[in-house]
Structure 1
């Protein structure tokens, strides 16, 4: 299962843990993902999306249909 938001396209970032002695080891910054069901009234069905917290805020702002169309236009999802 990939750790990518289907609305915003946020994905895992890679950085460094830096100790007190400045020794660096690799670490991962995971997005805040939630698996959530949404009701799409235009098609009268439920869809399950893996969205980040920022994706949820975008859905609240634009509406589900608008957020899905913008994600499809940007290439984050192919079919919903």
Structure 2
């Protein structure tokens, strides 16, 4: 089953759940599936074109050197505590 299909199923279960606790559980499951899909994409080398932190375009040279990158060099340095 694809990640999208699993997420759709979890959302449908949350939508039709009989009580608040079951709805919350379904939404948490959908969120978990979405997070797993995002990590899979990053591990497969599908990074971002724009920095998640500052929104500027990640230079092509950085995307070639680190295809999984989701931050520009400056913001990555801040994340890692180097700056």
Greater strand share, structure number: 1
Please indicate, yes or no, whether the TM-score normalized by the shorter chain is above 0.5: no
Normalised TM-score (structure 1): 0.30
User: What is the TM-score of this pair, normalised by structure 2?
Assistant: 0.30
Name the larger-Rg structure.
Answer: 2
Richer in helix (by share)? 2
Could you say which structure has the greater relative contact order, defined with CA pairs below 8 angstroms and 6 or more residues apart? 1
